[in-house]
Chain A
Amino acid sequence: MPTIRIQREDFDAATEAAALTRGQTEVGAVVTFTGLCRAEAGRLAALELEHYPGMAEEEVARVVAEAEARWPLEGVTVIHRYGRIAPGEQIVLVVTASTHRQAAFEAASFLMDYLKTRAPFWKKEHHADGSAGEWVAAKDADDEALARWQPSAPRAAE
């Protein structure tokens, strides 16, 4: 069973990785990815992350299920925060465990690419100079990142 949490609170990547492998003896590889809030060269005071309660959990679970169908994973943890997050603070955690490293690396990368375009979260900027911040625009690069998973990827839920 994957661990999926959508929460306001911070998380500890090492604790989550340890929890994923505790008691397991066939896990040979754990990949931990942490996404952090950038200051964008001092321009940002914070990001405000809005989410769709209920759907966020369900959509992350669907993306995780696709990863589990595609790679032989021994465990997955995804934590995504919402609310106000300052530069340097953590936003998202993906941990994947497998018998071998390739599956763990690829699944973690797949999960992040899909979370960015399918998980219902939206970032709004708070400017350091106090001026009104804008909603962050979706990047074409994020859609393009999905393309590399397409040839044999499970279809997106659309």
Chain B
Amino acid sequence: MRLVYFAWVRERIGKSEEEVVLPEGIATVADLAGWLRTRGEEYAHAFENPAVVRAAVDRHHVKPDAPIAGAREIAFFPPMTGG
């Protein structure tokens, strides 16, 4: 599964994308964020307040309870500030 990061989520993790193999039992976006938090200080920093980190599954905005089965690309990013 491909993960992509933007803005301060990207800066804190220190990379813009990576391929990961998920352990058993990771079913939702929230599960994925919780697992990422355990992968090191940089991830813990990026997800220290999971409520403010938004996600997209295959380029569609989703909520934390969204399932990730079959997803090709999952993105994590702060609230958007375009326009």
Contacts and interface: CB of A to CB of B under 8 A. Distances in A.
B43 to A, nearest CB: 18
Contact of A138 (B59, B61, B78): B78
Chain A interface SS verdict (over half): mixed
A35 B7 CA distance: 21
A158 B6 CA distance: 19
A92 interface: yes
Contacts of B56: 52, 55, 120
Greatest chain B CB density within 10 A among A50, A54, A91 is at: A50
A125 to B, nearest CB: 10
A123 B78 CA distance: 11
A137 B80 contact: no
A119 B80 CA distance: 7
B26 interface: no
A31 B56 CA distance: 31
Nearest to B7: A122
Nearest to A56: B82
A51 B83 CA distance: 11
A52 B83 contact: no
A13 to B, nearest CB: 15
A116 B82 CA distance: 5
Contact of B81 (A52, A136, A157): A136
Contacts of A115: 82-83
Contacts of B59: 52, 54-55, 58-59
Interface of A: 35, 49-52, 54-55, 58-59, 80, 91-92, 112, 115-124, 135-138, 156-158
